[in-house]
Chains A and B, each alone.
Chain A
């Protein structure tokens, strides 16, 4: 089993749609959780951290369920510019080492 698993997609959605991605992780000792965004042939960039209480940043909402070991990302009112690959990232205890999922590809269409 992969440490961090994501549906690779692609998710093809019309502009304005709401789309949700899930991610599961295997290490119950994981302590930090993130969503990164990666545009084609570019470096990953932090989209948002994920907190136990859930957090929202504009059209983006992230949730963490420690009991079930999954993380979600909800994007409302999708824009063409949201088209990218979204990486689920999990950090273990004791430092900055991160484990990356393979990413979920989102394509927002007119």
Chain B
């Protein structure tokens, strides 16, 4: 199993550009989520999904869209990039409903918005 994969690893954008961060998992997990990590702050939840076709907002959803057309994939779209979106983005997955279950994280995407 590859686990959780994310592409790209690094990206530089100009303000106003749009892009999609890809996330895929091969563990058949129902639950997937996107976090951003900034210095001095804990990981913050952007959006999450409890299964194909179902998504919901997390703590910091503004400026981001998600979709979940398959169990495996959960892309994160930046609609119009802003410097405040410079961050490290982590995708994670786990089984749904088992609160003691581990969340598995992808390796992260480092995004710089100029």
Contacts and interface: CB of A to CB of B under 8 A. Distances in A.
Interface of A: 2, 4, 8, 31-32, 41-46, 49, 87, 91, 93, 95-103
A49 B100 contact: yes
A43 B99 contact: no
B97 interface: yes
A46 B42 contact: no
A96 B103 contact: yes
Interface of B: 31, 33, 35, 40-45, 48, 50, 58, 90, 94, 96-103, 105-108
Contacts of A102: 40-42
A43 B42 CA distance: 13
B96 A95 contact: yes
B90 A96 contact: no
SS of A interface (majority):
loop
B96 A96 contact: yes
A37 to B, nearest CB: 11
Contact of A103 (B31, B42, B50): B42
A22 B40 CA distance: 17
B102 A97 contact: no
26 contacts: A8-B40, A31-B99, A32-B99, A41-B108, A43-B105, A43-B108, A44-B90, A45-B105, A49-B100, A87-B43, A91-B99, A95-B96, A96-B48, A96-B94, A96-B96, A96-B98, A96-B103, A97-B33, A97-B45, A98-B103, A100-B43, A100-B44, A101-B42, A102-B40, A102-B41, A103-B42
